[in-house]
Structure 1
Amino acid sequence: MKKDLQKKMVIMTGPRQVGKTWLAKALMPEFTSPQYLNFDNIADAAIINNQSWPIKSDFLILDEIHKKPQWKKFIKGVYDTRVINQAMLITGSARLDTFRRGGESLAGRYFPMRLNPISVRELKDSVKPDESLALLNRLGGFPEPFLSGSDTEAARWRNQYYTDLIREDILEFGRLQEVRSMRLLLELLRSRVGSPLSYTSIAQDLQIAPNTVRRYIDILESLCIVFTVRPFHTN
């Protein structure tokens, strides 16, 4: 990633608690004068809004910047007026992925990076494939529950995660009245794991439009909560 940072800004996305902030901070010792700012922090938000970070900083990290109004226009301006050789890393929730769909253009200014949960491939040097798959099925691929090694801790983490997910992340994509439908969709999908997916059938069960179901599932996929598996066929 450091090589990419030397060429353009890097926009790192991924679900909450997957390790984006940890990875960003792990890169800081590679630079002489790094600056980490989190828009969730009141003091940091003031610095971001005023663009009053140290001008000589050679590595600028803007975390949770998608929560700032007109954030795309803001980071475009910051990038275009930054000092020479200043590296920029933008991190945030899955909503950052939506900047490709319109609005202020960031074309030619960034390298995209998506950080996903732990995979079997990442564990291949320390755990046998069958064992690593069993571990991931039990504990999940997010660092905190996986590293705990405890089924109890993993279950508690998941319950809190889903509560926070619906209360915060999903609200970033839609309106408050949509949260109830999204919660019902989650429960419905959990009961149909491994079954063929019919947007029309789910729409009828939830009494919403099929296109709305499709949009909700796209959101849940971007948050790494569900995954659709395409069938293998020749016709």
Structure 2
Amino acid sequence: MPAVVVAGARQTGKSTLARQCGPEGRRYLSLDDLDLLDLARRDPDSLVRGAEHVTLSEVQREPGLLSAVKRAIDSDRRPGQFLLTGSANLLMMRRVSESLAGRASYLTLWPMTRQEQLGRGKGGRWEDLIETGDAGWRDLLGAEPADAEDWRALARRGGFPVPAVHLRDAGEREIWFDGYVRTYLERDLQALSSIAALPDFRRLMRAACLRIGGLVNQTALGRDIGLPQPTVNRYLNLLETSYLLVRIPAYSVNRTKRLTKSPKLYWGDTGLALSLAGESEPRGAHLENLVLQSLLAWRDARLGRAEILHWRTTVGEEVDFVIETGDSLLPIEVKATTRPRLRDARHLKTFRDEHGEMARAGLLLHAGTLLEWLGPHALAVPWWRVA
């Protein structure tokens, strides 16, 4: 492609990655530089005219620059000319009228997974599980040595590189997260949309953090914090556009129904979510969120299409995550228990019974050390052997 767009939340490492990519001598231009931002607004064509291997960072700050990039590409379609980074999902921004369709490929950089924090260039064992028959899962996961880890420590530090890797003290991380939120509210958010009542927005962020793993009910959320439903909808969309909030659609055989069923709410980073909510002790939902972060990093790095969904029936039976690849469904249940039991996997059996040959055996990810089949429908696996 003539252009590659790397998007993700602020401070996930996009600029560091972009500076290290591509041929030596590549020009690097950041719209965080106010002089460059002003030039991009007044004369965007001058920034990209005759460009050969140029990186444009934080392009969401001036969406009009994308039209100039389009014009440059249409006059010269050599691959790899433009590397664009942005701290917002350009395809979800209302002010972006140019998507570079047919001219750019899009990549998402999520916060660091546990495997990446350990120095391994992967997001988990998900692809291995997809490619291996169910009967071979236990041998696959037990063959390699794995480092057990307390999931609560990982949840507290999250996946942003600075607090996850470089800061070891909880107090220092809290200062970092507080500064991150202030910067987001006072600068990044205003670049996306005008928000007059920042205290209301921050209150919604806190309420959303306290509802991790729950179904999204905008009316109830608005009632709890004193905001009308349309405002709640707008604020949630802004958080999702910023890659801070993640909504997981519901699985249904009828793909149209997935758009109408209630999604589940998670955050892009557990450390930030805990800080915003004022919670010192992670809950079971935060372990779910950690597993999801690993799944998202894997999904958005693979070439084949995969969907991450959740499943819930009208009588309350539910499975935390369902990986859909082609005609195959892999259900995953996450429990914070250290002693998984057969009853913990009962909804995995229900899911498999309902979906027949499409459904593979399920995974019961837990906080203990047991790696064993609980029955033909579910393998109990320590979360750290997969995520």
Please report how far the alpha carbon of residue 151 of structure 1 lies from its aligned counterpart in structure 2 after TM superposition. Answer: 1.7
1:233 partner amino acid: R
Higher relative contact order (CA 8 A, sep 6+): 1
Q: Aligned equivalents of 2:224 and 2:313: distance in 1?
A: 31
Please report how far the alpha carbon of residue 163 of structure 1 lies from its aligned counterpart in structure 2 after TM superposition. Answer: 0.7
What SS does the aligned partner of 1:232 have? strand
Q: Who is 1:8 aligned against?
A: 2
Q: Who is 2:181 aligned against?
A: 162
1:40 partner amino acid: D
1:37 partner amino acid: L
The residue correspondences of 1:79-228 to structure 2 (distance < 5 A) are 79-82=73-76, 84=78, 87-98=81-92, 103-123=97-117, 128=146, 130-131=148-149, 133-148=151-166, 149-228=168-247
What SS does the aligned partner of 1:106 have? coil
Cα pair 2:53 2:81 within 8 Å, conserved = yes
TM-score w.r.t. length of structure 2:
0.51
Cα pair 1:220 1:226 within 8 Å, conserved = yes
Q: Aligned equivalents of 1:113 and 1:119: distance in 2?
A: 16
TM-score w.r.t. length of structure 1:
0.79
What SS does the aligned partner of 1:200 have? helix
Give the direction of change, closer, same or farther, for the CA distance of 1:187–1:109 in structure 2 (3 Å limit).
same
Q: Who is 1:3 aligned against?
A: none
**Cα deviation code 1:130-179 (max 9, x no counterpart):** 52744431211000111123222211110100111111122223223143
Larger strand share, 1 or 2: 2
What SS does the aligned partner of 2:149 have? helix
Q: Aligned equivalents of 2:212 and 2:77: distance in 1?
A: 51
Cα pair 2:59 2:86 within 8 Å, conserved = yes
Cα pair 1:120 1:129 within 8 Å, conserved = no
Task: List alignment gaps of at least 5 residues for structure 1.
Answer: 1-6
Q: Who is 1:39 aligned against?
A: 31
Q: Who is 2:15 aligned against?
A: 21
In percent, how many aligned pairs have the same letter?
26
Q: Aligned equivalents of 1:77 and 1:207: distance in 2?
A: 46
Q: Who is 1:233 aligned against?
A: 312
1:150 partner amino acid: D
Task: List alignment gaps of at least 5 residues for structure 2.
Answer: 121-144, 249-263, 265-309, 315-387
- How big is the alpha-carbon RMSD for the aligned residues of Structure 1 and Structure 2? 3.1
2:15 partner amino acid: T
Larger helix share, 1 or 2: 1
Please report how far the alpha carbon of residue 112 of structure 1 lies from its aligned counterpart in structure 2 after TM superposition. Answer: 0.5
Cα pair 1:72 1:99 within 8 Å, conserved = no
Cα pair 1:18 1:143 within 8 Å, conserved = yes
Cα pair 1:37 1:45 within 8 Å, conserved = no
**Which of structures 1 and 2 has the bigger CA Rg?**
2
Q: Who is 2:363 aligned against?
A: none
